[in-house]
């Protein structure tokens, strides 16, 4: 059986407004971007790691970290309203075909290589077309329903008898840390998440999505813990 080839696309535009130059902000001695590049390069299932960005500073830092930059993202895909699906489609169309594509955002700096590997293991074990990172929330939390995840969720630690399946009474939301999808399925549906998607449960730390300065402060506290 031929090995399934996986392309990782790190999406990092330069126009962050809430936290200027967010992707280059440092946690400890490493930037959010560098932490994400390291997670991808350290994964046993990723064959190629590329950057999609419009920003020369981000491109320079990505190359320094060992990430490929085979193209520059066009301006129309670097706006506040640009969709991740369109950014991913652009990357796929500008590179050789890979069986799977992995979308990674630097705003999730605590996701690890092992998390990426386990996401792929889940898709194969349960014969799914895609896997996303999710996190459990307390019942009654006031959140936009569009972020709720309604599929099967499995704990992020494997065991001799497989994976722990979560109780459907629990509520999970997308955390933005991992989007892994079969390329042919994505090109056909243009969706990162659908009824066939499986979720991998991640901790509060790994699920932190940095969007504000408060999030950066929370990330610093996680570093100290």
pLDDT (mean) for 147-160? 74
Q: What domains can be seen in the chain, in order of their start residue?
A: 6-224 (3.90.550.10)
Q: In the predicted model, is pLDDT for residue 159 greater than 60?
A: no
Overall average pLDDT of the 24-36 stretch: 94
Q: For 110-129, write each residue's pLDDT tens digit.
A: 999 999 999 999 999 999 99
- Looking at residue 17, its pLDDT comes to 79
Beta-ladder partners of 44: none
Q: Long-range contacts made by residues 56-64, C-beta under 8 angstroms, separation at least 24?
A: 57/14, 57/21, 57/24, 58/12, 58/13, 58/14, 58/23, 58/24, 58/33, 61/24, 61/31, 61/33, 61/34, 62/10, 62/12, 62/33, 62/37
Instruction: Report yes or no on whether pTM surpasses 0.85.
Output: yes
In this predicted structure, the answer to whether residue 165 has a pLDDT above a threshold of 90 is no
pLDDT above 70: residue 138: no
Average pLDDT of the chain to the nearest whole number:
91
Pairing of strands 148-149, 171-182: antiparallel
- Dump pLDDT digits (tens) for 61-90: 999 999 999 999 999 999 988 999 999 999
């Amino acid at each position: 059986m031929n090995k399934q080839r996986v392309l990782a696309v790190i999406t990092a535009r330069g126009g962050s407004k809430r936290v200027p130059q967010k992707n280059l902000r440092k946690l400890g001695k490493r930037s959010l971007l560098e932490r994400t590049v390291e997670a991808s390069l350290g994964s046993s299932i990723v064959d190629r790691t590329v950057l999609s960005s419009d920003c020369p500073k981000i491109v320079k830092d990505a190359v320094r970290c060992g990430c490929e930059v085979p193209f520059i993202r066009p301006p129309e895909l670097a706006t506040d309203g640009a969709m991740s699906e369109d950014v991913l489609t652009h990357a796929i169309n500008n590179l050789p075909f890979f069986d799977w594509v992995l979308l990674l955002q630097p705003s999730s700096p605590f996701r690890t290589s092992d998390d990426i590997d386990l996401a792929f293991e889940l898709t194969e074990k349960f014969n799914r077309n895609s896997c996303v990172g999710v996190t459990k929330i307390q019942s009654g939390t006031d959140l936009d329903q569009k972020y709720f995840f309604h599929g099967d969720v499995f704990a992020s630690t494997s065991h001799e008898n497989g994976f722990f399946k979560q109780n459907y009474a629990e509520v999970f939301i997308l955390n933005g840390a991992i989007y892994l999808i079969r390329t042919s399925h994505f090109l056909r549906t243009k969706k990162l998440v659908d009824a066939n998607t499986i979720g991998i449960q991640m901790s509060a730390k790994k699920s932190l999505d940095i969007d504000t300065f408060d999030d950066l402060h929370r990330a610093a506290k996680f570093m100290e813990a």
